[in-house]
Amino acid sequence: MRLVDAVYERVIELVKERRITVNALANLSGVPRPTIGTMTKSSTVKLSTVYGICAGLKITLQQFFDSPLFDPENITD
């Protein structure tokens, strides 16, 4: 899985855990909905975008990246 795909999957996991929509996350985080939605079409994702999402979810970057999705064997790029 590409790193950018892992980031998007993690966002979706966290949204589902909190029972909120991606639109609600956009409002909470200040990250535009299209930015969140187009992550998988991009080859990169800005750390500032992930940071904004974390702030909206009230979690740390460490908590965000603490997922098997980011284990080295799961990332192909």
Domain span at residue 64 reads: 3-69
* Amino acid 16: pLDDT: 97
pLDDT over 80 at 63, yes or no: yes
Residue 34 CB-density burial (10 A; 0-12 exposed, 13-18 middle, 19+ buried) = exposed
* Amino acid 77: pLDDT: 74
CATH number for position 23: 1.10.260.40
49 inside domain:
yes
76 inside domain:
no
Domain count, the chain: 1
75 inside domain:
no
* Amino acid 40: pLDDT: 78
| Residue-wise pLDDT tens digits, 15-61 | 999 999 999 999 999 999 999 988 878 889 999 999 999 999 999 99
pTM of the model: 0.91
Largest Cα separation within the chain, whole Å, is 34
pLDDT over 90 at 62, yes or no: yes
77 inside domain:
no
